[in-house]
Amino acid sequence: MEFREFGKTGHKLPLFGMGTYYDPGWIAAAKLLRMKPRSDMHLKAINTGLDNGINFIDTAEIYGTEPLVAKAISGRKRNDIFIATKVWRSNLEYDSVIKACNGSLKNLQTSYIDLYQIHFPNKRVKISETMRAMEYLVKEGKIRYIGISNFSLRQMLEAEEALKANELASTQMPYSLVDRKIEKDILPHCREAKIAILAYYPLGHGKLGSENASLSAAVADISRNHGGKSLSQIALNWFYSKHENVFPIPRAANPLHVTENVGSVGWALSTDEISRLEGAIFSAK
Ligand SMILES: NC(=O)c1ccc[n+]([C@@H]2O[C@H](COP(=O)([O-])OP(=O)(O)OC[C@H]3O[C@@H](n4cnc5c(N)ncnc54)[C@H](OP(=O)(O)O)[C@@H]3O)[C@@H](O)[C@H]2O)c1
C-alpha cells in the first residue's frame, strides 16, 4: 500500500480509507438489534481492507458502526490503525463533546481516537466552545487530531481561528468526479493551509457512471491503457493522481469491492486522462 502525509500531522495514511456509513436503515437496526443486519459481510469487508494495508477507518457516533469497528480491529495492534470518528451536531456543547467522546471510546474499545471530527456545524453552539472541548480532549490524550466535516469555508476559517494550541488537521466533504463543488474555495484553502480532505461519496454514492455514455467511452479507453482497471478504480485513482492531500473514503461493505478498490493504488492517470474524464462528466451535465 502507498501512504501519504495526512495534512501537517506528520502521520502517514494509505491513499484511501474505509467508510462505514451503511445506510439509515442500518443505523436504526444497529440501534435496535445491536448491529445484526449484514454485519458479518461488513466485518469481512473491513478486515479485507485491513489485511491489504488500508489501516484507516472512518466512522461516527451516529452511524452505529463504532462497535463493528471495535470488532474488526480487535486482535490487531491498535497503534497500527488510524480511527476517525465524529461527534454528532447535537453534542457540540462543551460537556456534551466530552461525554460523546467517552461514549465513542467505549464503543470503539480503545483509549484514544486518532481523528475526532465535528460531523456537522451547529449554529446554536459557538465553535469556540466546541473547540475548547476538542483541545481539552487532545490534552487528555483521548484524541490525537481535530477535524471537521460539512463546514463551509467561512465556518472552517472560524474553526481554525478558534483553535489555540492545536491546528485543524482535516475536513471531510462530499467530493468526487461528479461532485466537484469544493474545488471552488475549500480545496484551494486546504491546499494552501495543508489541511487534509477526507472525500466522502467518492464513488458518487454508488451512482457514478450510470447513464453517461461519454464517461463509459473515456473509462473504456483509460482502462485499456492501464491493464483493465474498472470505473471505481479509475474514479479513486483520479484523487491520487490529481491531489497530494485528499483521501477518498469509499464505503467498505462488500469484500469484493474493497479488494477492487485496493487495485486503485500503485499506478497513475496521465494529465490527458484526467482531462478526458473530467470533460466526459462535464459534457454529460
Ligand atoms: N461526513 C459526512 O457527513 C458523511 C456523509 C456520508 C458519508 N460519509 C462517509 O463516506 C463514506 C462513503 O460514502 P458512501 O458509502 O455513501 O459513498 P460511496 O463510497 O461513494 O459509494 C458507495 C457505493 O459504492 C459502491 N462501491 C464501493 N466500492 C465499489 C466498487 N469497487 N465498485 C462498485 N461499487 C462500489 C458501494 O457498493 P457496496 O456497498 O456493495 O460495496 C455503494 O453502493 C461513508 O461510508 C462514510 O464513512 C460521510
pLDDT digits (tens, 9 = 90+) for 20-32: 998 777 667 767 7
pLDDT: which is higher, 236 or 39: 236
The sign of the torsion formed by the CA atoms of 238, 240, 244, 246 equals: positive
Task: Report the pLDDT value the prediction gives residue 240, as an integer from 0 to 100.
Answer: 98
Task: Report the pLDDT value the prediction gives residue 38, as an integer from 0 to 100.
Answer: 67
Of the candidates 104, 103, 155, which has an alpha carbon nearest to the alpha carbon of residue 130? Answer: 155
Summarised one tens digit per residue, pLDDT across range 148-177 is: 999 999 999 999 999 999 999 999 999 999
Average pLDDT over residues 72-84: 97
pLDDT confidence of 35, banded at 50, 70, 90? low
The DSSP code sequence of 40-79 is HHHHHHHHHHHHTT--EEE--GGGT-HHHHHHHHTTS-GG
pLDDT: which is higher, 33 or 246: 246
Q: Is the CB of 202 under 6 A from ligand 1?
A: yes
The DSSP code sequence of 90-112 is GG-SHHHHHHHHHHHHHHHT-S-
Is the pLDDT reported for residue 279 higher than 70?
yes
Cα of 26 to ligand 1 centre, how many Å? 14
Is the pLDDT reported for residue 36 higher than 70?
no
In one-letter notation, the amino acid at residue 49 is G
Q: Is the CB of 57 under 6 A from ligand 1?
A: no
pLDDT: which is higher, 75 or 284: 75
Summarised one tens digit per residue, pLDDT across range 247-258 is: 999 999 999 999
**Shortest-distance atom of ligand 1 to CA 86:** 1
- Contact at 8 Å (CB) between 201 and 174? yes
pTM above 0.75, yes or no: yes
pLDDT confidence of 39, banded at 50, 70, 90? confident
If you average pLDDT over every residue of the chain, what do you get?
A: 94
Count other Cβ atoms within 10 Å, centred on residue 221: 11
**Shortest-distance atom of ligand 1 to CA 45:** 41
Q: Name, in order, each residue with C-beta under 8 angstroms of 82's C-beta and a sequence gap of 6 or more.
A: 6, 11, 13, 17, 55, 56, 57, 114, 115
Q: Is the CB of 19 under 6 A from ligand 1?
A: yes
Write out the catalytic residue numbers: 63
Summarised one tens digit per residue, pLDDT across range 189-229 is: 999 999 999 999 999 987 787 667 888 899 999 999 999 99
**Shortest-distance atom of ligand 1 to CA 172:** 1
Q: Is the CB of 178 under 6 A from ligand 1?
A: no
Q: Name, in order, each residue with C-beta under 8 angstroms of 140's C-beta and a sequence gap of 6 or more.
A: none
DSSP-H helix ranges across 112-212: 127-139, 153-162, 186-193
Cα of 138 to ligand 1 centre, how many Å? 29
pLDDT confidence of 282, banded at 50, 70, 90? confident
- Contact at 8 Å (CB) between 177 and 209? no
Strand partners, 82: 56
The full set of domains in the chain, from first to last, is: 3-206+244-254 (3.20.20.100)
Average pLDDT over residues 259-272: 98
Hey, which of 15-29, 36-50, 74-88 has the most confident mean pLDDT?
A: 74-88
Is the pLDDT reported for residue 41 higher than 80?
yes
Task: Report the pLDDT value the prediction gives residue 214, as an integer from 0 to 100.
Answer: 85
Q: What are the DSSP E strand ranges found in 113-218?
A: 113-118, 143-149, 168-174, 196-200
Whole-angstrom Cα distance, residue 146 to residue 248?
Answer: 18
First-to-last C-alpha distance (Å) of the chain: 35
Average pLDDT over residues 58-70: 95
